[in-house]
């Protein structure tokens, strides 16, 4: 019975996690379209009469040419987030052949055609480098660890282990009062182990979050390098400088999920050795410096 209990605690969450991960992996593009007010521009229907405006055709044509220059097997679907005046852009997708790049109406209004193309090239760089896939899988891995390992463990440690921990704490205090510190230390170490087990999910989630943020910051430099190679350093630097000057409003929907996707995020000038750990993007002035110095370019 105990064996069947543990098998159910692990197998059922595992099956749920596999199904949800497969769905999240392949439904990234349609889910994004459904959750956000995005006008989709299909490259295959670009020249249908009256279907798209001239601005939409130019945007999609630029993405098509940049995708071909980067060697992507298929041009990503192009989307315009109509209800967002906040200048930004992002990319989603499971593979290089199944992806979408999205630009907000605010970005189209604030940047010129060459700067918009540079931003699109940055997002295509994320797709070409498989960053969108890596972010999806990293998030799914965290959910899997939390669901499959820690949920059953916390159930057992809390409902059964707390009584043992209380007995060990009482025994440790009693032995300590009588001066038998050797036995007291053994019981108090047992209590400490119980506390660590209870905190382990939180510690793991924090470490994985830091890893996700580090990966996001590192890949931003590489996506910038792709954009500079496909367009020009000056166009991308100009676009980033304008975005840095404009106010930023965090998205109202899926704020945490979107944080690693946007080309820019809200970031205050802060001091301190480790303040950068809580940001998903490097400061724009450092990205511009890397572009000017030719770092990550190949």
Q: What is the CA radius of gyration of the chain?
A: 25
Q: CB of 175 within 8 A of CB of 183?
A: yes
In the sheet with 89-93, reading across from the earlier edge strand, the strands are 38-41, 77-81, 99-104, 89-93
Angstrom distance (rounded) from CA 189 to CA 186? 5
Active site residue 113: no
- For tokens 């990550």, name the residue: 296
CA separation for the pair 204, 208 (Å, rounded): 6
Active-site position among 123, 256, 269, 270: 123
Q: What is the DSSP string of 185-234?
A: HHHHHHHHHHHHHHHHHHHHHHHHHHHHHHHHHHHHHHHHHHHHHHS-HH
What is the chain's length? 298
Q: Which residue's entry shows tokens 């918009």?
A: 116
Residues annotated as catalytic (active site), given as ranges: 123
């Amino acid at each position: 019975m105990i064996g069947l209990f543990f098998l159910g605690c692990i197998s059922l969450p595992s099956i749920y996690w596999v199904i949800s991960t497969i769905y999240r992996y392949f439904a990234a593009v349609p889910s994004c379209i459904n959750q956000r007010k995005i006008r989709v521009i299909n490259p295959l229907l670009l020249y249908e009469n009256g279907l798209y405006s001239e601005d939409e055709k130019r945007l999609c044509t630029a993405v098509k040419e940049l995708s071909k220059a980067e060697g992507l097997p298929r041009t990503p679907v192009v989307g315009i987030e109509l209800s967002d005046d906040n200048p930004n852009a992002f990319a989603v997708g499971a593979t290089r052949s199944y992806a979408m790049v999205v630009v907000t109406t605010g970005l189209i209004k604030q940047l010129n055609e060459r700067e918009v193309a540079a931003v699109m090239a940055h997002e295509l760089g994320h797709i070409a480098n498989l960053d969108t896939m890596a972010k999806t899988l990293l998030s799914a891995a965290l959910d899997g660890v939390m669901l499959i390992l820690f949920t059953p463990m916390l159930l057992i440690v809390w409902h059964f282990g707390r009584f043992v921990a209380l007995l060990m704490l009482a025994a440790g205090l009693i032995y300590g009062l009588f001066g038998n510190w050797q036995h007291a230390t053994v019981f108090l170490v047992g209590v400490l182990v119980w506390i660590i087990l209870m905190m382990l999910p939180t510690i793991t989630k924090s470490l994985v979050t830091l890893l996700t943020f580090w990966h996001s910051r590192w890949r931003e430099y590489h996506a910038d390098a792709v954009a500079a190679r496909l367009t020009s350093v000056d166009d991308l630097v100009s676009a980033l400088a304008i975005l840095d000057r404009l106010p930023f409003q965090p998205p109202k929907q899926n704020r945490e999920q979107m944080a690693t996707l946007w080309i820019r995020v809200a970031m205050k000038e802060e001091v301190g050795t480790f303040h950068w750990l809580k940001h998903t993007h490097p400061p724009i002035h450092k990205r511009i410096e890397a572009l000017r110095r030719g770092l990550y370019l190949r």
